[in-house]
A and B are shown apart, each in its own frame.
Chain A
Amino acid sequence: MNPTPKSNRKLLTMLILGSIGMFGFGFALVPLYDVLCDTLGINGKTQNTASSYDAVVVDKNRTVTIEFVTQVQSDMPWEFSPKVNQISVHPGELTHAKFLVKNLSAKNIIGQAIPSVSPGQGAAYFNKTECFCFNQQPLAADTSAELPLIFYVNPDLPASINTLTLSYTLYDITDKQAVSAKQGAAR
Chain B
Amino acid sequence: MSTTTHDTIDTAHDEHHHGAPKGLMRWVLTTNHKDIGSLYLWFSFIMFLTGGAMAMVIRAELFQPGLQLVEPNFFNQMTTVHGLVMVFGAVMPAFTGLANWLIPMMIGAPDMALPRMNNWSFWILPFAFTMLLGSLFMEGGGPNFGWTFYAPLSTTYSPDSTALFVFAIHIMGISSIMGAINVVVTIVNMRAPGMPWMKLPLFVWTWLITAFLLIAVMPVLAGAVTMVLTDKFFGTSFFDAAGGGDPVMFQHIFWFFGHPEVYIMILPSFGIISAIVPTFSRKPLFGYSSMVYATASIAILSFLVWAHHMFTTGMPVFAELFFMYCTMLIAVPTGVKVFNWVATMWRGSMTFETPMLFAVAFIILFTIGGFSGLMLAITPADFQYHDTYFVVAHFHYVLVTGAIFSIMAAAYYWLPKWTGNMYSETLGRWHFWCSVISVNVLFFPMHFLGLAGMPRRIPDYAIQFADVNQIVSIGGFAFGLSQLIFLAVVLKCIKGGKPAGDNPWQAADGLEWSIPSPAPYHSFTTPPEIK
Using CB atoms and an 8 Å cutoff, list the residues of chain A in contact with chain B.
1-5, 7-8, 11-12, 15-16, 18-23, 25-27, 29-30, 33-34, 37, 40, 42-45, 73, 112, 114, 116, 118-121, 169, 171-173, 176, 180-181, 183-187
Task: Give the size range of B's interface with the partner.
Answer: 35 or more
Given contacts A176-B242, A185-B244, 16 further A-B contacts (CB under 8 A): A1-B191, A15-B185, A15-B215, A22-B216, A23-B222, A26-B219, A27-B227, A37-B246, A42-B319, A73-B242, A120-B314, A180-B235, A181-B243, A183-B243, A184-B245, A187-B244
- Which of B184, B189, B193, B253 contacts A29 (CB under 8 A)? B253
Q: List residues of B (213-228) whose CB comes within 8 Å of A's CBs.
A: 215-224, 227
Cβ of A38 to closest chain B Cβ, rounded Å: 12
B241 at interface, CB cutoff 8 A: yes
A22 lies within 8 A of B215 (CB): yes
Q: Which residues of B contact A169 (CB under 8 A)?
A: 241-242
B220 lies within 8 A of A25 (CB): yes
Closest B residue to A3 by CB, please name it: B189
Q: List residues of B (441-457) whose CB comes within 8 Å of A's CBs.
A: none
CA–CA, A171 to B7, complex, Å? 62
B256 at interface, CB cutoff 8 A: yes
A26 lies within 8 A of B316 (CB): no
Q: Which residues of B contact A4 (CB under 8 A)?
A: 6
Cβ of B179 to closest chain A Cβ, rounded Å: 12
CA–CA, A29 to B251, complex, Å? 12
Would A8 and B235 be within 8 Å (CB), given that A43-B248, A171-B241, A173-B242 are in contact? no
Q: Which residues of B contact A120 (CB under 8 A)?
A: 314-316
Closest A residue to B109 by CB, please name it: A3
B189 lies within 8 A of A11 (CB): yes
Among all A-B residue pairs, the 3 with the closest Cβ atoms = A184-B244, A26-B223, A171-B242
CA–CA, A131 to B29, complex, Å? 65
Q: Which residues of B contact A183 (CB under 8 A)?
A: 237, 243-244
B7 lies within 8 A of A5 (CB): yes
Q: Which residues of B contact A121 (CB under 8 A)?
A: 316
CA–CA, A73 to B243, complex, Å? 13
CA–CA, A10 to B428, complex, Å? 45
Using CB atoms and an 8 Å cutoff, list the residues of chain B in contact with chain A.
5-7, 113-114, 177, 180-181, 184-185, 188-191, 193, 215-224, 227, 235-238, 241-246, 248-249, 252-253, 256, 314-316, 319
Cβ of B512 to closest chain A Cβ, rounded Å: 19
Q: Which residues of B contact A27 (CB under 8 A)?
A: 223, 227
Would A15 and B237 be within 8 Å (CB), given that A23-B222, A114-B242 are in contact? no
The winner among A3, A4, A169 for most chain B CB atoms within 10 A is A3
Q: List 28 A-B contacts (CB under 8 A).
A: A2-B6, A3-B190, A7-B189, A8-B185, A15-B184, A19-B177, A19-B218, A22-B215, A22-B218, A23-B220, A25-B219, A29-B252, A30-B227, A33-B249, A40-B316, A42-B319, A44-B314, A73-B242, A116-B241, A120-B316, A169-B242, A173-B242, A173-B243, A176-B235, A176-B242, A180-B244, A181-B244, A183-B237
CA–CA, A12 to B6, complex, Å? 15
CA–CA, A185 to B216, complex, Å? 33
Cβ of A14 to closest chain B Cβ, rounded Å: 9
Q: Which residues of B contact A20 (CB under 8 A)?
A: 219
CA–CA, A56 to B191, complex, Å? 71
Q: Which residues of B contact A12 (CB under 8 A)?
A: 114, 181, 185
CA–CA, A24 to B7, complex, Å? 34
Q: Which residues of A contact B223 (CB under 8 A)?
A: 23, 25-27, 29
B181 lies within 8 A of A5 (CB): no
- Which of A1, A16, A40, A118 contacts B314 (CB under 8 A)? A118
Cβ of B239 to closest chain A Cβ, rounded Å: 10
Cβ of A101 to closest chain B Cβ, rounded Å: 15
A42 lies within 8 A of B315 (CB): yes
A11 lies within 8 A of B242 (CB): no
Q: Which residues of A contact B218 (CB under 8 A)?
A: 19, 22
Cβ of A115 to closest chain B Cβ, rounded Å: 10
